[in-house]
Chain A
Amino acid sequence: MPQSTRKRIHLIYGCVLAALTAILGVALILSALGIYSSGPRAYSYASIGAAFWRISALVFIVVGGVIGGIVLNLTIPLENQRPKSVRDDVAVMEKLKARAGAQPEAAKQVNLRRIYKIVTAAISVVIMIPPAIYFLLPFFPGWKEKLFTVDNLNGDIIRSVIIVMIPAVICLALCYVCSVLIRKSLQKEAAIYKKALAENPTRSPAAKTKKSSKTPTYVWILRGSIVAIGVIFVVVGILNGGMNDVFTKAVAICTECIGLG
């Protein structure tokens, strides 16, 4: 069978299975929400069984689809697709620089990138200051009771999460924009170097900048220090009862950890 036909078969099969998997996920979520919303202490083998029964056909179809996918892979295999290389832009730039020499226009792009980074970092810091203060306040006398009331601890936690997660998401979005701008700037800079090299291909020989792969001494010193500190910490932990704490917590079912509440 030609490779293109195989590819088509695999694609169609994969898309159908993907759709079914997604539907199953939604069905599972709706089932859980259905049980939960049916009243207090509504989870029971009967209610879970009834919910599962309603989606059991879908479950079996998806399981069958997964097994079918394995059979498909074995019977109509696809040739391995090689992903494209992902070059390290900075490493490429280093090479171009070494060959083309300094370019004044390119220096502007470097400065621009520096500005993007500084602005992003500064805005991120400013955005994260309020949540940082919020989390530090309970350590000061009087604030703990104001921010975290034992009566509504879950509500307080949700509020805390929102206070942190919204700025964090904004920071991540900002980082994304920054990375796009930096990439564009790198592309512009690369174009400048390539143009310079096209104009004068023998301007400068490629520099050998690679260092030997031997582990540097400082890494060994660092490793040794961490081992020493780690061993000391473990011994101190055993002596101060920390190990016993781990044991104590681990031999009882942590109902919160597993979601029982």
Chain B
Amino acid sequence: MEKKRTKFGTWWQAHKPTKRRIIQLYAALLTNANIKGFFSGKIYQGGAKNMCVPGMNCYSCPGAAASCPLGALQNALGSSNARLPFYVFGILMLFGLMFGRFICGFLCPFGLIQDLLHKIKTPKIKKNRFTRILSYLKYVILVVFVILMPLIYSTMSFPMPGFCKYICPSGTLLGAGGLLSNSANEKMLSMLGPLFTWKFVLLVILIVGAVFIYRIFCRFLCPLGAIYGFFNKISLLGIKVDKPKCTDCGLCVGHCDMDVLHVGDHECISCGKCVNVCPTGAISYKGPKILLAPNEVGGRPNTKNVDPVDYPGTPLPKKTKIARSIVAGVMIVAMVASLVYYNFIHKDPVTAKPPSSSQTGPEVGGEVGDLCYDYELDVYGQDENIKISDFRGKVTLVNFWYIYCSSCVKELETEFPKVKDHYGDEIEILAIHSYQEYNSDINAFIGEKFPDEDFIFCRDGEGEELFHLLGGEQAWPVTVILDQEGVIVETIYGGTTYEELCKIIDGIGNKTPAQPEGGNVGDLCYDFELDLYGTDGTTSVKDYRGKVTLVNFWYIYCSSCVKELETEFPLVKDKYGDKIEILAVHSNQEYNSDIPAFIAEKFPGEDFIFCRDQAGEEYFHMLGGDQAWPITVILDQEGYIVQTIYGGTTADELSTIIDGILAK
């Protein structure tokens, strides 16, 4: 007898998440079980990273619980000159045989993201012959970006994860997105450049594309899906067709959103849609039916002409019910255990503590302006040790690198030799391998890659101790530049260039380097004539050299501009008095001729210099303004731009910056 349902019960039955969706969510959470990483902005560094997850999930994602098989494969091929990549091949073979592209349909977090995006209510682009042809593009990407590029670059001892670097949207979304959205990683923002812009643009195209085209990335670009596709026919889990029952009606292929020609071919992700529409019940899941009975995954089945035994609602045999309960229990325990381990039991490696105070003076530290920690370092290829203080009297470039970091190796090969050639004995370059030494051939590597370089190659004392002391976190390279007295002048996170290094070194040699005028941080600020309100006179920023100058761009209809001029800037002026000067530049077309009256009414007692951008907004745009006000540009006593604050600011924020300038 059919059970009567309430109205809500009927609605719930029609809209409840399918089993597949639940499994996808479970897998995505298990794959990213290190939830605390999203809050701390650090990636998990424990032993589970020896293993790979089956789906595509960037290992630089703060939540990643294990390694990405595709990243691991490229890395293994990139180091295939050192050892053959048996481990990753073995892992991929076992995953492929066990699951095939079932992984894409059920276990891949990026697949889940695309599935959810495709749910957005817009017209969809259906599969056609063109998409079918395009589905072979992923094999080209597999061969070129995943196999050939790492292999070719490995001949030059140069790690090159071609797919990760130029295409992988999972890395951009989960890795970059997860890390950069945490303010703890703010300094990483300075590393962003053309590569990030390209990857971000690609990510946006794929995300928008996924709204209109079902699994755009999986179908056309994903090399991991291409690999697993090879195993689809023989995998233990997946879709099978009972051929004698099949009537070749074509409903299965018609309903499938992937570019399949036959059910279960290399494009099939085992989503189970075909299982539900097959009118004769010829299609079912392979493998044991403990988790997935036929016709149970994708939701509402076609009940015409089919034996109802296979459909949900039919009572399951008692044995299956018990087995399912056990499996569900194990899965819940596994999830809870993972969450507890990653978030509560596992502790991140402790960042090295500074040496004791007896070894260091009060000014010793790892930040700009500090006297650099003095560490003893082992020199590669020699028995002697060196200390950073040994190089006082010269400008010292302390570069932290490691052997698998291609951008580290690249800058050591291309940028630093030019700097050394340019400055000769005036500078010293310490190239510190600051990573656990998994590879005993670092000596050989250095001998092969840098045979003639006049650098001092040495090893970080306790793995990464000095690296952490000088501000390194989990990303390489980092270059710390010390002046002749051993004081840290600059720390560059990420790759650097010859030009950038020269600019800094010139700045050390010549304490007041002649720089061109500009509108960016570090530039000598453009000097413009500004009309003073209330008098016929003019002024310019140059007039205030010797003081810290706050150039605030505002306009009369911008409430946040007026508010901060009313509430925040007076506090700053009161605090610093004559040490600072505040230029309040009205930098918008003047809709209202009563601006002097407005100023007199709103700011009667303020000791600001109210003036006008002579050509409407010209000065505002030159100093980085676009279409949003307010902007505050802070100049040091010499007229250099120290910081540009877009949007509203506070007295606290301004005080922090001004204190920093005055301290120098």
Interface residue ranges, A against B (CB under 8 Å): 10-11, 13-15, 17-18, 21-22, 24-25, 28-29, 32-36, 38-41, 43-50, 53-54, 66, 69-70, 72-74, 80, 82-88, 91-92, 95, 135, 138-139, 144, 148, 150-151, 153, 157, 160-161, 164-165, 168, 172, 175-176, 179-180, 183, 210-213, 219, 222-223, 226-227, 229-238, 240-261
Contacts and interface: CB of A to CB of B under 8 A. Distances in A.
A179 B132 contact: yes
Given A33-B201, A86-B253, A245-B438, A234 B50 contact: no
A211 B193 contact: no
Interface in B156-212: 156, 158, 160-162, 164-166, 168, 171-172, 175-176, 179, 183, 186, 188-201, 204-205, 207-208, 211-212
B196 A88 contact: no
A38 to B, nearest CB: 7
B511 to A, nearest CB: 23
A254 B191 contact: no
A36 B50 contact: no
Contacts of A244: 50, 438
A252 B628 contact: no
26 contacts: A13-B121, A14-B122, A32-B201, A41-B190, A45-B186, A54-B627, A69-B122, A73-B121, A83-B255, A85-B249, A138-B152, A150-B156, A157-B160, A160-B149, A175-B136, A213-B241, A226-B97, A234-B90, A237-B88, A240-B86, A242-B84, A246-B67, A250-B64, A255-B405, A255-B476, A256-B165
Contact of A164 (B144, B242, B244, B261): B144
A14 B84 CA distance: 51
Interface of B: 15, 43-45, 47, 49-52, 58-60, 64, 66-68, 71-72, 75-76, 79, 83-91, 93-94, 96-97, 120-123, 126, 129-130, 132-134, 136-137, 140, 144, 148-149, 152-153, 155-156, 158, 160-162, 164-166, 168, 171-172, 175-176, 179, 183, 186, 188-201, 204-205, 207-208, 211-212, 231, 233-234, 236, 240-244, 246, 248-251, 253-255, 261-262, 277, 300, 402, 404-407, 410, 413-414, 435-436, 438-439, 473-476, 494-495, 520, 624, 626-628, 644-647
B460 to A, nearest CB: 13
B58 A257 contact: yes
B122 A43 contact: no
Given A14-B121, A80-B300, A172-B137, A250 B72 contact: yes
B176 A259 contact: yes
A195 B404 CA distance: 67
Nearest to B404: A249
A69 to B, nearest CB: 3
B188 A257 contact: no
A122 B422 CA distance: 54
Contact of A261 (B71, B243, B494, B624): B494
B414 A150 contact: yes
A22 B404 CA distance: 39
Contact of B88 (A24, A164, A246): A246
A190 B632 CA distance: 75
Contact of B194 (A14, A36, A238): A36
Contact of B410 (A13, A83, A150, A172): A150
Nearest to B246: A210
A9 to B, nearest CB: 11
B601 to A, nearest CB: 29
Given A39-B520, A43-B196, A256 B406 contact: yes
Contacts of B231: 226
Contact of B84 (A66, A223, A240, A261): A240
A222 to B, nearest CB: 6
A210 B199 CA distance: 49
B47 to A, nearest CB: 8
B247 to A, nearest CB: 10
Contact of B647 (A53, A233, A252): A53
Contacts, number: 360
Given A248-B404, A248-B436, A211 B243 contact: yes
Given A246-B75, A257-B161, 11 more contacts: A18-B212, A35-B197, A240-B83, A248-B404, A251-B49, A252-B435, A254-B71, A256-B195, A261-B191, A261-B196, A261-B495
Given A17-B121, A17-B122, A250-B67, A259 B196 contact: yes
Contacts of A153: 158, 410
A121 to B, nearest CB: 13
A249 B211 CA distance: 33
Contacts of B193: 36, 40-41, 43, 261
A153 B406 CA distance: 11
Contacts of A14: 121-123
Contacts of B262: 88
Contacts of A242: 76, 83-88
A165 B476 CA distance: 31
B18 to A, nearest CB: 14
Given A46-B647, A213-B242, A254-B164, A260 B176 contact: yes
Say whether chain A's binding surface is mostly helix, strand, loop, or mixed.
helix
Contacts of A223: 97, 234, 236
Given A46-B647, A165-B140, A260 B195 contact: yes
Given A44-B189, A175-B133, A248-B436, A256 B94 contact: no
A245 B79 contact: yes
A57 B452 CA distance: 57
Contacts of A229: 90, 93
A14 B366 CA distance: 55
A25 B255 contact: no
A258 B136 contact: no
Given A29-B204, A246-B52, A253 B474 contact: yes
A261 B407 contact: yes
A233 B439 CA distance: 20
Contacts of A135: 144, 148, 152
B626 A50 contact: yes
Contact of A219 (B76, B191, B194, B234): B234
B72 A249 contact: yes
B207 A25 contact: yes
B11 to A, nearest CB: 8
A27 B404 CA distance: 36
B249 to A, nearest CB: 6
A40 B236 CA distance: 52
Nearest to A95: B248
Nearest to B134: A172
Give the top 10 A-B pairs by smallest Cβ distance, nearest first. Answer: A237-B87, A233-B90, A69-B121, A242-B87, A258-B175, A85-B250, A25-B208, A234-B90, A259-B199, A87-B250
A168 B251 CA distance: 32
B214 to A, nearest CB: 12
B544 to A, nearest CB: 23
Contacts of A69: 120-122
Contacts of A243: 50, 87
Contacts of A148: 152-153, 156
B631 to A, nearest CB: 9
B188 A172 contact: no
Residue with the greatest number of chain B CB neighbours at <10 A, chosen from A183, A213, A246, A259:
A259
A258 B205 CA distance: 17
A11 B123 CA distance: 7
Contacts of B241: 213
